[in-house]
A and B are shown apart, each in its own frame.
Chain A
Amino acid sequence: MTTESTIHLEHVSKWYGQVIGVNDISCQVGTGITALLGPNGAGKSTIIKLITGQLKPTTGLMRVVGLVPFANHEVYHHLGYCPEIEQLYDEMTGREFVRFMGALSGANGQKLKERTDEVITIVGMDHAADRKIGGYSKGMRQRVKLGQAIFHNPKVIILDEPFNGLDPIGRREMTNVLNSFAEKGHAVIVSSHILYEVEQMTDSILLMNRGRLLAQGKVHQIRSLIDKHPHSITIRTPDVRRMAKCLTDYPFIISLNIDPKEIDKLQVQTASPDEFYNTFPQLVLENNFVVSSFHSPDNNLESVFNYLVND
């Protein structure tokens, strides 16, 4: 759930010479987890670099926690950044790396040591914190990178492909850390290609393609606004034909499909999913239908992503 705006972009464009990186982006990101999605070359990395102040927008206005981010080191007091790079300081141990980055953030003395230990525990690296980074797996590197990013309790944390190299347990643990971080009122922006993992973490997305922002908001809200692709719902019931007959009376039903191979399966396409969801329970009760399962196969992030990016 995102609330007040922490990151504010207003008509932001970035040109690399004659190549456009991002084109007229306007959006606001508040607290909570927001996924930044898009295919390769969509402009995700450019947006991240703009937010982290590594690039200056060619046009437009940007604010991160109320500050102009470009070349403004003050922003980094409030920002944690976990880049995609895998190579770090191979000669340092994970603990040394986190402590070093913590010192750069301004911590020192006993607090630096205590916080380093705390962060190492939070990211689940207790068992390997004193080994050299050179011997770390991709997942371990991701964890220490996350550790340095959250060290100073930033208001905003930006993670570029944080699930790369993480095994399923590692992904789940990282998701838990990010969720608990977001629950404490921080803003988290996650750039990722792994839609399934992003979907487990948040339903709030920024969808980009070819340098443009295609959609922003909750997945189901965005899905309901995509008129071009009717909403598809799969119902399993022993009374397939009787239910189909009842449903034809409703104007928001576009098509009904009975699969001859699966005689208990009815596929419904509707132009107005909200109306359907409001009406369907009453229909079931009035006609004494037995419904064994009910789900919408394209009411997910992947469908939304495909519909918006491919159209």
Chain B
Amino acid sequence: MSTEPEKTQPDFMLDVPQVDPFGHRSDTVSAANPIADLSYRNYTGPLNSHTFRWWVVALAGIRAARQKKGFWAIAGVSVLPYLFSLIGLYLQSRMPVNVNNPITNNTVGQKYASSFFQLTDFNLFMMFVMTLMVGSGSISADNRSNALLVYLSKPLTKVDYLIGKWMGIFTTLFAVALAPALILYIYCIMTFWSDGIFHQEPWLLTRVLLACALPAALHASLMVGFSAWCKTPRVAGAIYAGFYFFSGIVSGIIWMIRTHGNMSEQVLLRHISVSGLMRGMVQNVYNVTDKVTSFGSGMPSITDISAPSAKGVFLISLIVGGIGIMAARARIRAVEVVTG
């Protein structure tokens, strides 16, 4: 590497780098250009406007998530229930028509939605694990390495940064949840078209999209808040996991005290936890009843439990998610300003 090209090259070489017949500048040593031009060169390309700069931050988050082996492991596990369901549906389609449907609910309008609800419900826990993996370090890692100094020295607002981080988590969670659901949906459409699947449940695709998006959005909103207030991904993940389980235990205990375990009562109260809110949202989106097995008279009986109040669940989710985002916004700053 040359350090003083000006002493060995003609003067014009200092400001006008050598250009070959194809217009390429000679930055490297070659027979024609034995000394590399390492002096500063102005950037001549375009610089985009401010719009969508947050997407660069989001993309970096998505790429970082994809590089983790754990990401692929959890994504693989998330596919399994859908895969089993798909195999079941395939076998069912091979059976005589009069055989009872072993997988889906036969209630009109809930036949397929009910299956999708059960599958999404199962995957909510996997989504939580995925959130810990891809979201805990989203801002806390920047806090630890002081990378906010570098980030916010670019033409990027605090809001851009926050949106980027949120989108990085949300997009990853959404994609992992949606991909297997979408494959199953396409399979159902192709297989059961003649059964009138599209006419019976025309909004199924919209419901699938929403059922994947809403829990992902709530996870992302809460996780950015926890991550922003922590110095390390491990601590952020541990605190979020604690909050996730603790909120479920507390709401369960309060519900149990107030209803003595009657599943049909105080349904909204039973759902006031991170996992409960997500389940409540998904159930409302699919508009299905939940089947609960009870042993009231000694013999098991199946009770239909309706979804918690949609208004209540969505409002509480909005407030909780909003608190997460506001907490992150309050925390994100390039320097720690000491106030007297």
Instruction: Using CB atoms and an 8 Å cutoff, list the residues of chain A in contact with chain B.
Output: 15-19, 49, 52, 54-55, 71, 73-74, 76-77, 79-81, 83, 85, 87-91, 100-101, 103-108, 111-112, 114-115, 117-118, 121-122, 124, 145, 148, 150-153, 169, 172-173, 176-177, 180-181, 183-184
CA distance A176 to B3 in the complex (A): 7
B194 in the interface (beta carbon within 8 A): no
Establish whether residues B56 and A49, one from each chain, have CB atoms under 8 Å apart when the complex forms: no
B30 in the interface (beta carbon within 8 A): no
Q: How far is the CB of A15 from chain B (nearest CB, A)?
A: 8
Residue of A nearest to B145 (CB): A87
Establish whether residues B154 and A76, one from each chain, have CB atoms under 8 Å apart when the complex forms: yes
Inter-chain contacts of B144 with A (CB < 8 A) = 87
Establish whether residues B47 and A115, one from each chain, have CB atoms under 8 Å apart when the complex forms: no
Q: How far is the CB of A193 from chain B (nearest CB, A)?
A: 19
The stretch from B80-88, B201-209, B295-303, B332-340 touching chain A is B332-340
Inter-chain contacts of A105 with B (CB < 8 A) = 47, 154-155
The 4 tightest CB contacts between A and B, nearest first, are A17-B340, A111-B45, A106-B47, A81-B153
Inter-chain contacts of B4 with A (CB < 8 A) = 176
Inter-chain contacts of A150 with B (CB < 8 A) = 40
Establish whether residues A77 and B155, one from each chain, have CB atoms under 8 Å apart when the complex forms: yes
Inter-chain contacts of A83 with B (CB < 8 A) = 146, 149-150, 153
Establish whether residues A55 and B337, one from each chain, have CB atoms under 8 Å apart when the complex forms: yes
Binary per-residue interface labels of chain B (138-156) against chain A in the complex, 1 for a CB within 8 Å, 0 otherwise:
0001001111011111111
CA distance A108 to B49 in the complex (A): 11
Provided the pairs A76-B156, A114-B45, A173-B3 are in contact, do residues A104 and B38 lie with their beta carbons within 8 angstroms?
A: no
CA distance A108 to B38 in the complex (A): 23
25 examples of A-B residue contacts, CB within 8 angstroms: A16-B339, A49-B335, A52-B153, A54-B333, A74-B155, A77-B155, A79-B153, A83-B153, A85-B150, A87-B145, A103-B56, A104-B155, A105-B154, A106-B46, A106-B49, A107-B46, A107-B48, A108-B48, A112-B45, A124-B1, A152-B43, A152-B47, A177-B38, A177-B39, A183-B40
CA distance A206 to B96 in the complex (A): 89
Q: Among B38, B145, B155, which residue has the most Cβ atoms of chain A within 10 A? A: B155
Inter-chain contacts of B149 with A (CB < 8 A) = 54, 81, 83, 85
CA distance A105 to B57 in the complex (A): 11
Inter-chain contacts of A121 with B (CB < 8 A) = 27-28, 36, 38
CA distance A177 to B2 in the complex (A): 12
Establish whether residues B3 and A107, one from each chain, have CB atoms under 8 Å apart when the complex forms: no
Add 14 more A-B contacts to A85-B146, A150-B40 (CB < 8 A): A54-B333, A54-B335, A55-B335, A85-B150, A100-B56, A104-B154, A107-B47, A108-B48, A121-B27, A145-B150, A151-B43, A176-B39, A181-B40, A184-B42
Establish whether residues A89 and B340, one from each chain, have CB atoms under 8 Å apart when the complex forms: no
Inter-chain contacts of B145 with A (CB < 8 A) = 85, 87-90
Inter-chain contacts of A73 with B (CB < 8 A) = 50, 154-157, 160
Provided the pairs A79-B153, A121-B38, A176-B3 are in contact, do residues A104 and B57 lie with their beta carbons within 8 angstroms?
A: yes
Inter-chain contacts of A87 with B (CB < 8 A) = 144-147
CA distance A151 to B144 in the complex (A): 25
CA distance A105 to B64 in the complex (A): 20
Q: How far is the CB of A135 from chain B (nearest CB, A)?
A: 15
Establish whether residues A104 and B340, one from each chain, have CB atoms under 8 Å apart when the complex forms: no
Inter-chain contacts of A153 with B (CB < 8 A) = 42-43
Provided the pairs A55-B335, A83-B150, A85-B146 are in contact, do residues A91 and B39 lie with their beta carbons within 8 angstroms?
A: no
Q: How far is the CB of A233 from chain B (nearest CB, A)?
A: 31
Q: How far is the CB of B144 from chain A (nearest CB, A)?
A: 7
Inter-chain contacts of B338 with A (CB < 8 A) = 16-17, 19
Q: How far is the CB of B47 from chain A (nearest CB, A)?
A: 3
Residue of B nearest to A153 (CB): B43
Provided the pairs A83-B149, A114-B45 are in contact, do residues A100 and B40 lie with their beta carbons within 8 angstroms?
A: no
Contact of B155 among A76, A111, A180 (CB under 8 A): A76
Q: How far is the CB of B149 from chain A (nearest CB, A)?
A: 4
CA distance A79 to B149 in the complex (A): 13
B8 in the interface (beta carbon within 8 A): no
Establish whether residues B53 and A106, one from each chain, have CB atoms under 8 Å apart when the complex forms: yes
Which residues from 240 to 283 on chain B have a C-beta closer than 8 Å to any C-beta of chain A? none
Inter-chain contacts of A79 with B (CB < 8 A) = 153
Establish whether residues A106 and B38, one from each chain, have CB atoms under 8 Å apart when the complex forms: no
Inter-chain contacts of A74 with B (CB < 8 A) = 155
B100 in the interface (beta carbon within 8 A): no
Establish whether residues A104 and B3, one from each chain, have CB atoms under 8 Å apart when the complex forms: no
CA distance A169 to B338 in the complex (A): 39
Establish whether residues A54 and B334, one from each chain, have CB atoms under 8 Å apart when the complex forms: yes
Q: How far is the CB of A307 from chain B (nearest CB, A)?
A: 32
Residue of A nearest to B57 (CB): A104
B199 in the interface (beta carbon within 8 A): no
CA distance A108 to B41 in the complex (A): 18
Establish whether residues A104 and B56, one from each chain, have CB atoms under 8 Å apart when the complex forms: yes
Q: How far is the CB of A238 from chain B (nearest CB, A)?
A: 36
CA distance A153 to B4 in the complex (A): 22
Q: How far is the CB of A53 from chain B (nearest CB, A)?
A: 9
Q: How far is the CB of B322 from chain A (nearest CB, A)?
A: 23
Inter-chain contacts of A177 with B (CB < 8 A) = 38-40
Residue of B nearest to A176 (CB): B3
Inter-chain contacts of A115 with B (CB < 8 A) = 43, 45
Binary per-residue interface labels of chain B (23-67) against chain A in the complex, 1 for a CB within 8 Å, 0 otherwise:
000011000000010111111011111100100110010001001
Provided the pairs A115-B45, A118-B41 are in contact, do residues A104 and B156 lie with their beta carbons within 8 angstroms?
A: yes
CA distance A153 to B28 in the complex (A): 21
Provided the pairs A100-B60, A118-B27 are in contact, do residues A176 and B38 lie with their beta carbons within 8 angstroms?
A: yes
Q: Among A73, A91, A177, which residue has the most Cβ atoms of chain B within 10 A? A: A73
